[in-house]
Structure 1
């Protein structure tokens, strides 16, 4: 079972990303939102589920363990295959899925392409009582990550980088690392500085330009 892959993103097209792991390019199906967060040439960590069929091996990728957990739960519902489960995740976050199940809102699932009224109701019934852990972590994680990323952004701007460049570096660091690697300011700051590479902050570049005049 391949539960995650980490490597350089070789290509991203539509909802397919190719990630090089140990010299081998693995084709991973992801949601449109996830695909947009991946940068060709950058390293990425993707949680994965390997679906084995008689004539096919398919690897599906996820931003975090909550998405993966929801994917697995959805696949356990009669009539919901991997592609339909990915369709749900493309249209709804894990928190929204949990909320729809908790409020018995099958209409939310009927809006997903490929999910009919009968299957939508079955999703709500089948997942009832199974989403509490996902709801808790999904609500808590964005709050922690937002606070950490805001502090790192302030630190980078304070070091002399423009807010636009600093924000891009923080976004790329968040997209390419797992929760543990971005849970604290020092850890995320290191990753963001790695993204910035050898380029100099504006203040340093300006100072050098002034000294040359």
Structure 2
């Protein structure tokens, strides 16, 4: 198994990064939070987990041991696979997830794409006691709500971010609304910045 990678970031997209180590490029799936700290052409060190299926072998990259561990623990819940776990980690940090589970905060868990009320309730029960080591480590956040967001459908950067959010499981209407709000507040933001800020806003409750 490949536990970590250290090398040069030779390419990255909205949901993946390619890290070259010793002349070999490794494609890893990663959350926008992780990708934001991996500049193209820069040196990177990530922890990894390989998920092997009958028809695929997928490498996932994480910035630290806590995020990697929580990624694995979340998949112990029935109905949560690697892709959904990545969607959850895109919106909730290990501390935020642990706090939500400890408090039985179903609404907070539902902020993650693809997590409905029933699954959120199951997560609150099945994960209780499994994430205690991460409770109280969530960073302070303050996400406001915007208004009068512009139509982002015709904007190339905005449209790309909307597609990334829908790929994570958010509805197109919610994605367009949030991206529009962030684009209005941060004119000229590039794709990575717009995606990161949009995810932060969604995680703060602006859906």
Shorter-chain TM range is: 0.5 to 0.7
SS at match of 1:37: coil
Partners of 1:98 and 1:65 in 2: CA distance: 15
Unpaired runs of 5+ in structure 1?
Answer: 143-213
- Equivalent position of 2:13 in the other structure: 13
Partners of 2:6 and 2:87 in 1: CA distance: 24
- Equivalent position of 1:86 in the other structure: 86
- Equivalent position of 1:121 in the other structure: 121
Partners of 1:80 and 1:3 in 2: CA distance: 22
Partners of 1:118 and 1:111 in 2: CA distance: 13
- Equivalent position of 2:104 in the other structure: 104
Partners of 2:14 and 2:70 in 1: CA distance: 22
- Equivalent position of 1:67 in the other structure: 67
Partners of 1:127 and 1:63 in 2: CA distance: 22
- Equivalent position of 1:39 in the other structure: 39
Q: Which has the larger radius of gyration?
A: 1
Greater share of helix:
1
> Please, what TM-score do these two structures have when normalized by structure 2?
0.64
Q: CA deviation at 1:135?
A: 2.8
> Please, what TM-score do these two structures have when normalized by structure 1?
0.62
Q: CA deviation at 1:122?
A: 1.1
Partners of 2:26 and 2:61 in 1: CA distance: 11
Partners of 2:38 and 2:47 in 1: CA distance: 13
Q: Which runs of 4+ in 1 moved over 6 A?
A: none
Partners of 1:71 and 1:37 in 2: CA distance: 19
Q: CA deviation at 1:76?
A: 1.0
Partners of 2:6 and 2:135 in 1: CA distance: 26
Q: CA deviation at 1:8?
A: 0.7
Q: Deviations over 1:141-192 (max 9, x none)?
A: x8xxxxxxxxxxxxxxxxxxxxxxxxxxxxxxxxxxxxxxxxxxxxxxxxxx
Partners of 1:62 and 1:114 in 2: CA distance: 21
Structure 1 vs Structure 2 CA RMSD: 1.4
- Equivalent position of 1:24 in the other structure: 24
After superposition, residues 124-135 of structure 1 pair within 5 angstroms as 124-135=124-135
Residue correspondences, number: 139
Kept in 1: contact 2:104–2:124 (CA 8 A): yes
Q: CA deviation at 1:16?
A: 0.7
